[in-house]
Chains A and B, each alone.
Chain A
Amino acid sequence: MIDFELTPEQKEAISAAHKIAEEMLRPISRYYDEHEDESPKELIDKMWEGRREGSLMGGLDMTAALRTEEMFWGDAGLALALPSPGLGGAAIFATGTPEQMQRFLGNYSEGGPKWGAMAMTETGCGSDTSAITATAVLDGNEWVLNGEKIFITSGKRAMLDSEGLVVVWATVDKSAGRAGMKSFVVPAGTPGAKVEKKEKKLGIRASDTVTIVFDNCRIPFENILGSPEVRKIDKTGTAGFKKAMATFDATRPFIAAQALGVGRAALDFVKETLEKEGIEIRYGLPRHKLTALERDVMDMESNYKAAKLLTLRAFSLMSQMLPNSLEASMAKAKAGLAITKITQKAVEIMGPLGYSRKCLLEKWMRDGKINDIFEGTGQINMLVVARRVLDYSREQLK
């Protein structure tokens, strides 16, 4: 039955996350935007405590999505910096065996705070993830990884600051193309995995983005996610690549949920400011009677709503274990674009309040932009949607 009612657990999760966002993230939001080399240790420790009590356990369900939106309403950079298996965890969840999930994530909430990361992008390839040049060679009972990976979210915290892990994408057979692409779990402390350059970014500055160089980095054979075989069913055998894409089906709706949080922060700020000024948005009126401001605000609100419903649909399918590639990319493409527009429009409407670093709006505009870029740019997601609705292969639609 078509239903939009939140369950009592979901309502509770939202209000708990909102409380954290409001009371713990917002007050330090500006500070860590301007002090990007400092780490919000107190926040991390507190959140880790909360995690151990089980109140913040992750997951891939709708409740996790709703919680994500609230946390990102608080602060995107800080939310990304919180200890979590992150994208590495999502990759293990999406493509690992039960044994691997247990081995890599089973003890995750024990000991000190830990992070997970995913390493896919290289200097020569971003969206074209099939062009990866990092290599994995089997030597006896070990894989030997070589290559350089960039733009790794939480890579420093995962590999230097904690006993975390990074999931690395590398090819086991270059001649096999996409079919040779595999993912490997590299735990923190593995010799040969070196964290280098920390990027300075437009936004989400509290979250670290680093380069990791793999130099004859040896990991056990069992750390490969999925099958080690290179299946060459035909020339376009893409088993390995499809694993990577399966990960995206799970992660893209989360990025959309993050975007929603940032967008709603901007929207709330605009609406609260207008309310203080005694300006009411008159919803039932015909278009010709609305002011430009009312039209703008309504446009922002409906775009937020459109993105939110597409996102919830992608989660709904995922939690029913139904295919959601199309819906995940629709949500990501729409949310990334909608939030870019909403935050930029909000800065315009609020004038000096929008542009000044005294308020957080300008920060949200900078933060929100990442959601239209990472885990597949808006354009890559449009390409996925286009191929799906046209029933085209990547050869038919480049």
Chain B
Amino acid sequence: MISFSPSEEQQMIVTMVKQFANDEMRKIYRECDESGEIPNRIIDTAWGLGLVSTGIPEEHGGLGGEHSAVTGALIAEELAWGDLSMTMHILCPALMIYPVLEMGTEEQKKKYLPAFCEEKYKAATAALIEPRFGFDPYSLSTTATLKDGSYVLKGQKCYVPLAADADMLLVYAAEKGKTQGFIIEKGTKGLEIGEREKSMGIKALATYELTLKDCRIPRENRLGGEKGCDFGRIMNCSRIALSAMAVGVARAAFEYSRDYAKERVAFGEPIASRQAIAFMLAEMAIEVDATRLMSWEAAWKLDKKEEATKDAALVKAYADEMVLMVTDRAVQILGGHGYIREHPVELWLRNGRGFVTFDGMAIV
């Protein structure tokens, strides 16, 4: 039956994450953006909430909770409301965990999952995006070729979060023209991690370019073994996660500009009492809600293991535009103040513009 009410358990998780976002992330997001550093303390605290590790089965050291994309979307929105850089950092190991959990072989699960069941945060990541115009996740330039019983990977990647700290990377490459995942451990010969990237937004998140120079890995490191992985599903999961994060960023910008518009007085009245401002806010509220519902519906399809390519593509494209519209208007409503780094809206606009680029950089 159609229902828009999260379960009691989901509500508890949302309340917990909301509180963390408000009490921890919102206190330091600006200095993190300026310095480009996120304190380990906050990452460990977030990891301790068990948002990702709960979904790992008991036999691999986890709590054996249910892994649900709908719950993931709820978490992603609340975290991203706090701060997007921190959100992507906190959830980064999921880029390895969830594909292995859903599509990995038994050996891969046994080998890689237990490391993420510790109390302390452990970095892992995935590399999908390539530094060129015309990047298409379904048609990658990076290649993987089976040679003498091992895979040889060649190519270049960018926007790989935490690449320098990660003990293992899930690298996506074209094998006979089809995208597959390959697990590369830190220190493997031919894996060269470049300089930290400098971007318009998500400045607190450390992302890197990396080069694969005839990087040779064992055959059994192919995600899913002989069967391979369902890359379409991984993309769908990622698109839905990013859409939910876009909702979080947009909601933050909407709430902030709404409150500002009620306080800021011009011509003897709060600017919110003028339709030019009020109607912008109304449209922002409508679009934030609509995008949230679309992300829930798409996530619900994922949980039911239904084909969700269309839903995921539609919500992601919609969310990309929505978050840009909302964050831009938030800056506009604050006027000159919106342009100043004392207020957060300029940061949200910079982060918001990135969603269209972030394909594959987050998953829930």
Q: Is A330 an interface residue when CB atoms closer than 8 A count as contact?
A: yes
Counting contact residues on chain B (CB < 8 A from A), the size range is: 35 or more
Chain B residues contacting A3 (CB-CB under 8 Å) are 1-3, 300
Q: Are B2 and A5 in contact (CB under 8 A)?
A: yes
Bound: A283/B294 CA distance, A:
16
Chain A residues contacting B282 (CB-CB under 8 Å) are 333, 382-383, 385-386, 389
Chain B CB count within 10 A is highest, among A2, A285, A306, for A2
Q: Are A284 and B235 in contact (CB under 8 A)?
A: yes
Q: Are A4 and B297 in contact (CB under 8 A)?
A: yes
Q: Is B108 an interface residue when CB atoms closer than 8 A count as contact?
A: no
Known: A284-B235, A382-B283, A397-B273. A1 touches B290 (CB 8 A): no
Chain B residues contacting A6 (CB-CB under 8 Å) are 1-2
Q: Is A62 an interface residue when CB atoms closer than 8 A count as contact?
A: yes
Q: Is A313 an interface residue when CB atoms closer than 8 A count as contact?
A: yes
What is the chain A residue whose CB lies nearest that of B285?
A389
Chain B residues contacting A286 (CB-CB under 8 Å) are 135-137, 359
Write out, one digit per residue, whether chain A residues 276-287 have a CB within 8 A of any chain B CB (1) or not (0): 000000011111
User: Which A363-386 residues have C-beta < 8 A from chain B?
Assistant: 379, 382-383, 385-386
Q: Are B309 and A284 in contact (CB under 8 A)?
A: yes
Q: Is A359 an interface residue when CB atoms closer than 8 A count as contact?
A: no
Bound: A375/B342 CA distance, A:
43
Number of A residues near B (Cβ < 8 Å) is 43
User: Which A283-329 residues have C-beta < 8 A from chain B?
Assistant: 283-289, 298-299, 301-302, 305-307, 309-310, 312-313, 316
Known: A2-B70, A385-B282. A309 touches B317 (CB 8 A): no
Q: Are B138 and A284 in contact (CB under 8 A)?
A: yes
Q: Is A390 an interface residue when CB atoms closer than 8 A count as contact?
A: yes
Q: Are B7 and A1 in contact (CB under 8 A)?
A: yes
Q: Is B268 an interface residue when CB atoms closer than 8 A count as contact?
A: no
Cβ contact of A2, chosen from B3, B278, B287, B291, cutoff 8 A: B3
Cβ contact of A1, chosen from B5, B138, B297, cutoff 8 A: B5
Q: Are A62 and B136 in contact (CB under 8 A)?
A: no
User: Which A112-142 residues have C-beta < 8 A from chain B?
Assistant: none
Q: Are B1 and A389 in contact (CB under 8 A)?
A: no
Write out, one digit per residue, whether chain B residues 260-288 have a CB within 8 A of any chain A CB (1) or not (0): 01100000000011010011011101110
- List 7 interface pairs A-B (beta carbons < 8 Å), by A numbering: A3-B300, A6-B2, A284-B309, A285-B138, A286-B136, A298-B317, A379-B279
Q: B: which residues have CB within 8 A of A?
A: 1-7, 10, 70, 133-138, 232, 235, 258, 261-262, 272-273, 275, 278-279, 281-283, 285-287, 289-291, 293-294, 296-297, 300-301, 309-310, 312-315, 317-318, 320, 356, 359
For the complex with contacts A283-B313, A390-B272, 16 further pairs of A-B residues with Cβ separation under 8 Å are A2-B4, A2-B5, A2-B300, A3-B300, A4-B2, A284-B312, A285-B313, A286-B135, A286-B137, A286-B359, A288-B134, A305-B297, A306-B290, A306-B293, A309-B297, A387-B278
